[in-house]
Structure 1
Amino acid sequence: MKKKLYVLFALMGILSIESCTNLEEVVLDESFTSNLSEKQAADGIMAPVYARLPDIFLHTNYFAIQEISTDEAILPYRGGTDWGDNGIYLALHAHTQTSTDPNLRNTWNLILQGMSRAITAINTLPSSKDPIAKTYLAEARGMRAYYSMLTLDLFGLVFVKNDIGENSTILRGDKAVEYIKSELLAVEPNLETTVGPGRLTKGAVWGLLARLYLNAGVYRDPYATAVTFKNEDLDKVIEYTDKIIASGQYQLARDYFSIFNSDNHTNKELVFAVDQRAELNGHNRLAYFSLSGDQFPLPAYPNANGTDGPAITSDFYRTWVNAYGSQDPKVDPRFYRENLSIYSNPADSCVAAENFNINRGILRGQQYGLIRKNGVFVKCADGKMKVGKLAYDTRNKPTLAVDFTEQIDFTVAGSNYNTGYRVEKYEFSKKSVSGRNFGDADIVILRLADVYLMRAEAKLRRSNDVASALADVNTVRAARTYSTPAPALSAMSLDLLYRERGFEFYWEMLRRTDMIRFGKFEDKWTEKSNTDRNKRIFPIPQTAIDGASNIPGYLVQNTGY
């Protein structure tokens, strides 16, 4: 029987392993691959292992699960007509989700597909004669471990198998943690160090190990009243974060928002990321998801706009206000970047197309931007782009200003199109014709700031080393010198560190995991009063339960669903 090989046809290589364009995955019989070199065949086997990541990190999949389920993001039924989706986003935020949620199902399926592809690569690469196969084999096995970390964090279980044709063994709790740990440790010696953030490297594995050890207490007993942090786990967090920092390979970005720019693939703060440059058929959804439908970021494309999706809750916004007191939160350069000078200079209402950039960060109040009428942008007499106050013309509500309010909830008034402060963290790609395609920005999985803050947390929990933790936090704050850095902190505690993680990593898909580890996930916030500890992990999709029904007792639904 002939083996099957996954092959990606590309002009210049395969999926971030080399620069490439026009990727299309197909499954070819081995007899059709005789003209491929050993290197090309190995590339074709490895590429699919990473290819599911952009889909997993789609705005309605992993992002929604990790953020809309928390106090950082809320997505109401906009205007009573948009984002209703049978109430799944309302339920996710209120912790009343069910096993039939399609976004949970999609995320589950995509993660398991990535895992399946990794197993295929693990079984196929040993027959390759190219020297790169040893590295690829380590990456494939490491990616299987990463996908296992996702299923453990989200659904409380790990599937273990070494061949596609066999049934998986299901692990939970300590056995699951030990399995992932052993897999990451096994592959680390054979990984490269300088192949970029889009592939698994030694630094990425060190970071994943640190993350695993830091959350091990949660994963061993996800329903515990209080998390038990073992000193030996915290020592390992410190060991692996020390290794990353001491390597000198990574660097904190002086410009906070450059971490999320379209050209961030070479940003030295990234340790591990989803490589989704436009040439790799990346998507742009994280940039468009929160913007108004009447915010058009690209003068070249009058059909590229936002969608009035999620906003931050007032609860999360108030953490910024409470931190800075009489000062506006924008004194922290992570909070906001003003790119449109019309905010501070109302006379500047005509802007050259090449100079037009929308603001970044947390957007509040009246928004200004390109004025679009009858499908085209209005221009000034000198040919520059007309910039002015925006209203909801695309919604046929010209009297409703694009004036973002702090208050947002599930009431009719709180669900209007303009409610809630919005987040524009990732840059809108200059190539995105529709706002939904050709995303250039790599999506961050792990970056150096997280390494510093994980080390700070481990030192606080391990020995209450306040001085070292404070130094790590202030190192990150002081690094952002593009504008005036955030003022240094003079005190440190677990509560302050939790707040700092919110400021540094908002909307980066870490919040749910952080909230559980810090004991905050059962707290109350806007439209969420559920205190059920069972909701810390999500239900196994009903389709998966049904699919495994021919094996009695094999796949058991999580408690509380």
Structure 2
Amino acid sequence: MLFIGCTSDLDVEPGDPNAFLDSDFYSDPSAYREGLAGVYANLSLTGTNGADNSNIQGLDAGTSQYGRGLWNLQELTTDEAIWSWENDPGLRELNRNTWAADNVVLRGMFGRTMTSVAFANEYLRQTEESVLDSRGVDGSLREDIQVYRAEARFLRALSYYHMMDLFGKAPFVTEADPVGAYQAPEYDRTELFNFIESELTAIIPDLKDPLQNEYARADKAAAWMLLAKIYLNAEVFTTEARYSECLSFCEQIINSGYSLAPEYLNLFKADNDQGASRNEIIFPLVSDGITTQNYGPTTVAINGQVGSKELNGENFGVAAGGWGGALRVTQQFSETMLNGNYNEDTRNTIILADRTINITEVSQKDQGYIVSKWSNRTSTGETGSATEIVDTDFPLFRLADVYLMYAEAQIRGGGGSASLAVEYINDLRTRAENPQRIGVSDLTLDLILNERLVELYWEAHRRQDLIRFNRYTGGVYNWSWKGNTPNGIAIDATKKLFPIPEASLAANPNLTQNSGY
């Protein structure tokens, strides 16, 4: 496995995939760092033999990539994106909210997420106190390993967070459980929530301080962010409101040294791992056209946003035709961007061309507007290192989201300052060159939901946001092709969770299916 940060310190040369599980691997002191790199690598890579290879049997590389699976489930199931190529397995059902337990995209995300848990568990087994004692590990290396272990536990907590959010349950396994054919017990949302909360609280003292770790490695701010996320969504996850805790962790992140990048669109370019973007991105999923190749969310977004009739891929550093108009936005998304509040706003990247705003047939790729948020060009206009698989990292967590989370938690009764919440939103609008400012009287949940769409679209937040705002299921808010009709219809509340994949149920009799499937 190979993981690339901003230096070569975390390079792990591809080799025998079983070496990661072999104690001989750890005979070299540098292997502990390389082993951690392998755990991180699962967030970006799908196998040891290139971007077209998957180490999960029966799944292609694209379907089983961590960030892409997350992006598909959080975006294609909402008003933010429509996937044109509905013959691609599983994607038609996501577009139309008609998925079932045999959906291959769901299987890919479930499998990849639990693979991340397995890698973290094995790393923790190989770095337990007794094991390190038996190898004679001491001194500064022992201190370094304590930090590495905290990062591995963060990655495991992150994976269980995604299982809790998407599936509402998970087979629960830790380093204390046996390796092999072990049928893990099922943890429900409350049990997962409690585990994630306790894990993050336990590891924070051992993580590096904010902005003191290497790029793309977790620090204290990443753990605070994950805690803020679970508290923001706690009413959904456990029925108990935890907005004050969310706001408290948002304050810690805001005061930790991270800062907004001066130019919004530079956050989504090929060199977003450097400069001012680095100081806003709290935790990314890495991509590189040469060394960390993957068909992940940024490769999908950049190639997919190229218009079928515009053929504007060269503007984004990819082939002129991109992926042939694979992605468009819904009428409701476009109306939010074009309703007067965001016409003058650099976050509004809709390309107004000879297109209809609505999509009457998903197969008609010339219908519906396209966007230009992502790019495989650098902030200085240079093309990335390759022209399909991109250099652009995916900002899973960034400071602008924290600003909006603070404002939402404040409105929902979490304490804090309404005037400060207004200031944070106006800071985002100022950066985006939006001339309209808001006051305390404008601060509403509807405004927050719109601001989250405009600031964070195509960053894998929308499904979770719509559920938290009670706009996802039912008929309060309908968007194009919701419920499999052009104008959208209500969908059942059971769609707030995805089903447990059939293959996972067959493999582990301790797992039970979610209601409605």
Of 31, 39, 43, the match for 1:41: 31
CA-CA distance at 1:545 after TM superposition = 1.0
1:424 alignment counterpart: 372
Deviations 1:16-70 (A, max 9, x none): 3842668525322747648x631x2102221121112125666752211100101
1:215 alignment counterpart: 233
8 Å contact 2:5–2:215 — kept in the other structure?
Answer: no
CA-CA distance at 1:473 after TM superposition = 1.3
Query: Following the alignment from structure 1 to structure 2, what is the Cα–Cα distance between the partners of residues 138 and 479?
Result: 35
Query: Following the alignment from structure 1 to structure 2, what is the Cα–Cα distance between the partners of residues 30 and 496?
Result: 53
8 Å contact 1:263–1:440 — kept in the other structure?
Answer: yes
2:5 counterpart of 1:16 = yes
Deviations 1:147-202 (A, max 9, x none): 00000000001332223524423211322211110011111110112114411110
1:246 alignment counterpart: 255
1:16 aligned partner, one-letter code = G
Give 3-state SS (helix, strand or coil) of 1:526's partner: coil
Deviations 1:378-437 (A, max 9, x none): xxxxxxxxxxxxxxxxxxxxxxxxx4432213x3xx5322122112322125235442x2
CA-CA distance at 1:99 after TM superposition = 0.8
2:44 counterpart of 1:84 = no
1:378 alignment counterpart: none
Query: Following the alignment from structure 1 to structure 2, what is the Cα–Cα distance between the partners of residues 65 and 177?
Result: 20
1:332 alignment counterpart: 345
Deviates more, 1:260-269 or 1:168-177: 168-177
Percent identity, please. Answer: 28
Give 3-state SS (helix, strand or coil) of 1:53's partner: coil
Give 3-state SS (helix, strand or coil) of 1:54's partner: coil
2:363 aligned partner, one-letter code = S
CA-CA distance at 1:323 after TM superposition = 4.1
Query: Following the alignment from structure 1 to structure 2, what is the Cα–Cα distance between the partners of residues 234 and 300?
Result: 42
Query: Following the alignment from structure 2 to structure 1, what is the Cα–Cα distance between the partners of residues 254 and 410?
Result: 15
Query: Following the alignment from structure 1 to structure 2, what is the Cα–Cα distance between the partners of residues 450 and 164?
Result: 39
2:259 counterpart of 1:305 = no
Of 401, 414, 436, the match for 1:487: 436
Higher strand share: 1
Deviations 1:238-270 (A, max 9, x none): 11111111112x110110001111111132110
CA-CA distance at 1:134 after TM superposition = 0.8
Give 3-state SS (helix, strand or coil) of 1:137's partner: helix
1:558 alignment counterpart: 514
Query: Following the alignment from structure 2 to structure 1, what is the Cα–Cα distance between the partners of residues 399 and 453?
Result: 16
Q: Closer, same or farther in 2 for the Cα pair 1:486/1:516, shift >3 Å? A: farther
Deviations 1:487-535 (A, max 9, x none): 2123110111111111110111000000000110023211221321100
Query: Following the alignment from structure 2 to structure 1, what is the Cα–Cα distance between the partners of residues 243 and 205?
Result: 22
Give 3-state SS (helix, strand or coil) of 2:395's partner: strand
Query: Following the alignment from structure 2 to structure 1, what is the Cα–Cα distance between the partners of residues 340 and 169?
Result: 38
Query: Following the alignment from structure 1 to structure 2, what is the Cα–Cα distance between the partners of residues 83 and 427?
Result: 24
Query: Following the alignment from structure 1 to structure 2, what is the Cα–Cα distance between the partners of residues 32 and 153?
Result: 38
Query: Following the alignment from structure 2 to structure 1, what is the Cα–Cα distance between the partners of residues 12 and 146?
Result: 27
1:216 aligned partner, one-letter code = A
8 Å contact 1:17–1:43 — kept in the other structure?
Answer: no
Query: Following the alignment from structure 1 to structure 2, what is the Cα–Cα distance between the partners of residues 309 and 114?
Result: 29
1:538 alignment counterpart: 498
Query: Following the alignment from structure 2 to structure 1, what is the Cα–Cα distance between the partners of residues 410 and 117?
Result: 33
2:365 aligned partner, one-letter code = Y
Q: Which runs of 5+ in 1 are unaligned?
A: 1-7, 77-81, 221-227, 336-360, 366-402
2:322 aligned partner, one-letter code = N
2:139 counterpart of 1:154 = no
8 Å contact 2:6–2:273 — kept in the other structure?
Answer: no
Query: Following the alignment from structure 2 to structure 1, what is the Cα–Cα distance between the partners of residues 253 and 39?
Result: 25
Q: Closer, same or farther in 2 for the Cα pair 1:242/1:463, shift >3 Å? A: closer
1:341 alignment counterpart: none
1:270 alignment counterpart: 281
Give 3-state SS (helix, strand or coil) of 2:163's partner: helix
1:67-106 mapped onto 2 (5 Å cutoff): 67-76=75-84, 82-85=85-88, 88-106=90-108
8 Å contact 2:243–2:414 — kept in the other structure?
Answer: no
Query: Following the alignment from structure 1 to structure 2, what is the Cα–Cα distance between the partners of residues 108 and 83?
Result: 21
Q: CA RMSD, aligned part only?
A: 2.5
1:127-142 mapped onto 2 (5 Å cutoff): 127-128=131-132, 129=137, 130=141, 131-142=143-154
CA-CA distance at 1:318 after TM superposition = 0.7
8 Å contact 1:364–1:404 — kept in the other structure?
Answer: yes
Larger radius of gyration: 1
1:305 aligned partner, one-letter code = G
Give 3-state SS (helix, strand or coil) of 2:162's partner: helix
1:285 alignment counterpart: 300
Query: Following the alignment from structure 1 to structure 2, what is the Cα–Cα distance between the partners of residues 299 and 277?
Result: 15
User: Alignment length, in residue pairs?
Assistant: 454
8 Å contact 1:99–1:542 — kept in the other structure?
Answer: yes
2:302 aligned partner, one-letter code = A
1:476 alignment counterpart: 428
Query: Following the alignment from structure 1 to structure 2, what is the Cα–Cα distance between the partners of residues 526 and 305?
Result: 24
Query: Following the alignment from structure 1 to structure 2, what is the Cα–Cα distance between the partners of residues 155 and 434?
Result: 35
Give 3-state SS (helix, strand or coil) of 2:465's partner: helix
Query: Following the alignment from structure 1 to structure 2, what is the Cα–Cα distance between the partners of residues 546 and 116?
Result: 19
1:398-417 mapped onto 2 (5 Å cutoff): 403-409=354-360, 411=361, 415-417=363-365
TM score, norm. by length of structure 1: 0.75
1:499 alignment counterpart: 450
8 Å contact 1:23–1:281 — kept in the other structure?
Answer: no
Give 3-state SS (helix, strand or coil) of 1:264's partner: coil
Give 3-state SS (helix, strand or coil) of 1:415's partner: coil
CA-CA distance at 1:282 after TM superposition = 3.2
Give 3-state SS (helix, strand or coil) of 1:272's partner: strand
Q: Closer, same or farther in 2 for the Cα pair 1:59/1:125, shift >3 Å? A: closer
Deviations 1:89-136 (A, max 9, x none): 332132211111111111111111111000001111233422321111
1:331 aligned partner, one-letter code = E
Q: Closer, same or farther in 2 for the Cα pair 1:21/1:191, shift >3 Å? A: closer
1:259 alignment counterpart: 267
Give 3-state SS (helix, strand or coil) of 1:71's partner: coil
